[in-house]
Amino acid sequence: MNLVTLDDIWAAAADIAPTVLRTPLLAAPWDDGLWLKPESLQPVGSFKLRGATHAVIRLDPDDRDRGVVTHSSGNHGQALAYAARAAGIPCTVVVPEGSPGVKVAQMRALGAEVLLVPPSRRLAEARRIVAATGATLVPPFDDRRIIAGQGTAGAEIVADLPDVDVVLVPVGGGGLASGVATAVKALRPSTAVYGVEPLLAADARDSLAAGRVVTWDVELTFRTCADGLRSNLSELTLAHLRDRLDGIVTVTEEEIRAAAGRLIREARLVVEPSGAVATAARLFRAGELPAGRTAAVVTGGNVDPTVLADLVTTA
């Protein structure tokens, strides 16, 4: 299988530089060995803007006018809508029912056509639209252009913390972890890269153990509050993670919420539950990880106000 390379990531970095924020690396106020990569500061509130922007820029000119379509619980949909609007092309997002209202509203505000479907139907509906309209499918993670774009975050981490010992990255569909691990391992092979996922959506853990994609039904993954991490891996992302990830740890719902609360109160970052899982691993699973200077990717901050209020008061 053709895996993403560091050269792909450098090309993506050049493509997205005019649009995507180069987020800082912030020292965690409570831990002098932890740095936070706040992708929640991106214009659309998540790291997804990196991959989506790169994918839109790399569209075949003959396909641009027919637009783009994707399936997303929210963050990738927002990112693709933002990138499509910047490029002046139409965008349709197929959204699973039960996705956060704040994310759905923002997709519509960015000009996307939003279709709500049962969770198990989202990919099939996206493919139906592609067949009917000729639009280009831009998947959330199962695409080399997406992985290369997300990998730019890993390159930035190494540039800002050259002696980083451990990088912690959330895993849903695996696009971000694939890209970050590719960049970090190419630039600093001694750095350990660990994926982190909710215990209630631990398909990546199972897939890596089995050596093949192990899927979890949506009835299982939709139990986690980390709505951005409910996707299963693809063959492409599993290939990257098997080759480049040092391991994976899982965190509980209580640990995710506690980490989000701490990020909100002490780091002054607006964060959604999915964005807090890497920090949760450092807080509650340090014994399962190597010691040393650690960077945790805070992937997003698109959270409903009622959920945010609850997280602020979570111990």
Within 10 A of 182 (CB to CB), how many other CB atoms are there? 26
| SS3 label, residue 50 | helix
The single residue of 40, 46, 72, 73 carrying the catalytic annotation is 73
Dump pLDDT digits (tens) for 100-118: 888 889 999 999 999 999 9
Report the number of secondary-structure helices (H) and strands (E) in the chain.
Answer: 13, 10
Residue 236 pLDDT grade (very low, low, confident, very high; cuts 50, 70, 90): very high
Phi and psi based region of residue 153 (left: phi greater than 0; alpha: psi -120 to 50; beta: remaining) = alpha
Share of the chain above pLDDT 90, in %: 87
* Residue that wins the pLDDT comparison between 123 and 29: 29
pLDDT > 60? residue 243: yes
Active site residue 178: no
Alpha-carbon distances, residue 44 vs 52, 105, 225, 252, 284 (angstroms): 11, 12, 20, 27, 29
Query: What is the predicted pLDDT for the residue at 98?
Result: 84
Residue 6 pLDDT more than 90? Answer: yes
Confidence of residue 314 (pLDDT cuts 50, 70, 90): low
Give the CATH fold of the 6-46+143-312 domain: Rossmann fold (3.40.50)
Sign of CA dihedral 142, 146, 151, 156: negative
Q: Where are the domains of the chain?
A: 6-46+143-312, 50-137
169-222 pLDDT tens trace:
999 999 999 999 999 999 999 999 999 999 999 999 999 999 999 999 888 888
Q: What is the mean pLDDT of the chain?
A: 95
Please report, rounded to a whole number, the percentage of residues in the chain having pLDDT higher than 70.
99
Could you tell me the pLDDT band of residue 72, with boundaries at 50, 70 and 90? confident
Residue 300 contacts by C-beta under 8 Å, 6 or more apart in sequence?
39, 40, 45, 46, 47, 48, 75, 228, 271, 272, 274, 275
The fold of 50-137 is: Rossmann fold (3.40.50)
Mean pLDDT of 77-90: 96
Mean pLDDT of 122-141: 94
Over residues 78-86, mean pLDDT: 96
Q: Residue 102: what pLDDT? A: 82
Lowest-pLDDT range, 123-137, 147-161, 180-194?
Answer: 123-137
pLDDT class for 120, splitting at 50, 70, 90? confident
CB atoms within 10 A of CB 292: 13
66: tokens are 């027919």
Q: Is 297 helix (H, G, I), strand (E, B) or coil?
A: strand
Report pLDDT for 18. 95
Tell me the per-residue pLDDT of 9-67, one tens digit each, with 9 for 90 and over.
Answer: 999 999 999 999 999 999 999 999 999 999 999 999 999 999 999 999 999 999 999 99
Provide the pLDDT confidence category of residue 315 given band limits of 50, 70 and 90: low
Give me the catalytic one of 37, 46, 48, 234.
48
Which tens digits make up the pLDDT trace of 298-312? 999 988 778 777 878
Same fold, 6-46+143-312 and 50-137: yes
